[in-house]
Amino acid sequence: MSDSPNYMNVLLIAGEKSGEEHAMTFVPELKKMIPELSFWGVGGDELKLIGMELNYHLKDFSSWGISEVISKIPFYLKALSNIEQQARDKNCKVAILIDFQDFNMRLAKKLKQSGVKVLYYVAPQAWAWKEWRAYVLGDCVHTLFTIIKFEKDWFMRRGVPNVVSISHPLWNHYHKAICEKKNMLGLNHKPHEKFQREINLLILPGSRNSEVTVLLDTFIKAAINLSKKHPVSIGIVKSPGVNRNYYSPYKKIITESWNSDDLEKGLSWADLAIATSGTVTLTCALFEVPTVVNFNSSLFNTWFFYSFVNYKGFASLANIVHQEQVFPELLGDECSEYSIEQKLLTWIKDKENYEKIKTKIAGTLALIDESETNVSETMKDLIRESYV
């Protein structure tokens, strides 16, 4: 990367693994469109491999829950200051901020004051809580990219001037593979009768250490309890950002294992799944795997959520996209090995219930194809006009 402050550079903030996955749907194409373009900021190994300069690695940057965020406030404040200074030193004119709302919203304000054009990719869920964030975005973001059907109108009604509705990044990532499988074999067309012989149960405990430490043991115990009633093979998807020691106590119980890069293989194997709430629940729906969604955290985080968050809608992305509960959600104290087992049994014992959810989630792919434009083309034009 050139040391000149005049080279064409873009600040990119992908503070979580899902953010890096989103970035990988457009950054490689952007680099082909603008060969002289350089990226720097916050990302992971995949972005580094394609030439991005990492000021911070996402594994040190991400956090989960209010209590963990609070503990890292000094780190985030220093990072904000450093990134803002780097933007000035590099004469950066464009920033692409991906999700990671608490940090990116603050950074967007600072960048706007410095004359940086801010492109915000994946709108924060201000419709769930902190509606005021929509008005902040209207003041400091040049272009907002939304990925859920109703979001564009919602943000425009609250003063965000440039809103572009795009297909969900998971559509870009998986739609070709899903369409090919549906055309050739049918995707996850597993007869209910198979459950009497064997159930392939996939465990998706999350991509952060804090998630895995809280939920993995509960997931495993639920799977073991289920295996006492039906023959079960237990699989797991592991994240490279999680300490491997957290998985080691369960080696003898788990029969199949994949890394998060091979999530598609795990979901193609699975009949049913237990997952931590997050983007992965939408991926489960795309691959037509009925899933029990769970969210649990520290006592402080749970207290904060129920005390200060007025949002009463769905927690999992799969349900938000469908705008109805297709996957059961177990939140807080509801998340227990017994409750998980009972939710799984409603599909195993009731063929009609199982076929109903399979039919419903078969339509997920169509619900996230909302693209008005090619994201890379739009960003290319916005970047080029800033460096003229």
Average pLDDT, stretch 335-355? Answer: 93
Instruction: Give the pLDDT score at 187.
Output: 63
Residue 45 included in any domain: yes
Q: What is the structure's pLDDT at 309?
A: 46
Taking the mean position of all CA atoms in its chain, how far away is CA 107? 20
pLDDT confidence of residue 68: 56
Q: Tell whether 44 and 148 lie within a shared domain.
A: yes
Q: What is the spatial order of strands in the sheet that 232-238 belongs to?
A: 256-259, 232-238, 199-204, 272-276, 291-295, 329-331
The two structure tokens encoding residue 298: 């520290």
Percent of the chain beyond pLDDT 90? 55
Is pLDDT above 50 for 2? no
Shared-domain flag, residues 130 and 196? no
Instruction: Summarize the confidence of residues 142-163 as an average pLDDT.
Output: 90
Please state, rounded to an integer, the average pLDDT across all residues of the chain.
86
Query: Across residues 279-288, what is the average pLDDT?
Result: 92
Indicate if 138 and 235 belong to the same structural domain: no
pLDDT recorded at residue 331:
82
Q: Residue 1 — pLDDT band, cuts 50, 70, 90? A: very low
- Whether residues 152 and 227 share a domain: the answer is no
Alpha-carbon span 136 to 15, nearest angstrom: 20
Comparing 147 with 109, the larger pLDDT belongs to 109
Structure tokens at 332: 């807080």
Q: Count of domains in the chain?
A: 2
Same domain, 233 and 283: yes
Domain containing residue 116? 9-166+370-386
Q: Do residues 19 and 117 both lie within one domain?
A: yes
Of the given ranges (7-16, 59-68, 112-121, 346-355), which has the lowest mean pLDDT? Answer: 59-68
The whole-number pLDDT of residue 59 equals: 83
Output the domain CATH number for residue 312.
3.40.50.2000
Domain-embedded: residue 2: no
Residue 275: count other Cβ atoms within 10 Å of its Cβ. Answer: 26
Q: What is the 3-state secondary structure (H, E, C) of the chain?
A: CCCCCCCCEEEEEECCHHHHHHHCCCHHHHHHHCCCCEEEEEECHHHHHCCCEEEEEHHHHCCCCHHHHHHCHHHHHHHHHHHHHHHHHCCCCEEEEECCHHHHHHHHHHHHHCCCEEEEECCCCCCCCCCHHHHHHHHHCCEEEECCCCHHHHHHCCCCCCEEECCCHHHHHHHHHHHHHHHHCCCCCCCHHHHHCCEEEEEECCCCHHHHHHHHHHHHHHHHHHHCCCCEEEEEEECCCCCHHHCHHHCCCCCEEEEHHHHHHHHHHCCEEEEECCHHHHHHHHCCCCEEEEECCCHHHHHHHHHHCCCCCCCCHHHHHHCCCCCCEEEHHHCCHHHHHHHHHHHHHCHHHHHHHHHHHCCHHHHCCCCCCCHHHHHHHHHHHHCC
With respect to residue 249, please indicate whether it lies within any of the assigned structural domains.
Answer: yes
As given in the structure block, the two tokens for residue 361 are 């989630």
Average pLDDT over residues 189-204: 82
Q: 162 with 189, same domain?
A: no
Using CA atoms, how far apart are residues 202 and 336, in angstroms rounded to an integer? 17
63 versus 153: which is more confidently predicted?
153
| Whether residue 374 sits in one domain with residue 301 | no
| Confidence check: pLDDT of 215 > 80 | yes
Q: Are 107 and 249 contained in the same domain?
A: no
Taking only the tens place, the pLDDT of each residue in 245-258 is 999 999 999 999 99
Residue 230 placed within a domain: yes
User: What confidence category does residue 30 fall into, taking pLDDT thresholds of 50, 70 and 90?
Assistant: very high
In a domain, 3, yes or no: no
Do 279 and 131 reside in the same domain of the chain? no
Which of the pair, 152 or 3, is modelled with greater confidence?
152
Which pLDDT value is given to residue 265? 93
Percent of the chain predicted with pLDDT > 70: 87
Q: Both 82 and 180 in a single domain?
A: no
Question: Contact, 55 vs 8, CB < 8 A?
Answer: no
Per-residue model confidence as pLDDT tens digits over 298-328:
444 444 444 444 545 677 889 988 989 999 9
Residue 176, pLDDT > 60, answer yes
Is the pLDDT reported for residue 5 higher than 90? no
pLDDT computed for residue 298 by the predictor? 46
Query: Is there a single domain that holds both residue 146 and residue 191?
Result: no
CB under 8 Å to 233, separation ≥6 — which residues? 198, 199, 200, 201, 255, 256
Instruction: Tell whether 159 is covered by a domain.
Output: yes
Asked whether residue 4 is assigned to any structural domain, the reply reads no
What pLDDT score does 102 carry?
A: 81
Is 104 inside a domain boundary?
yes
Looking at residue 305, its pLDDT comes to 45
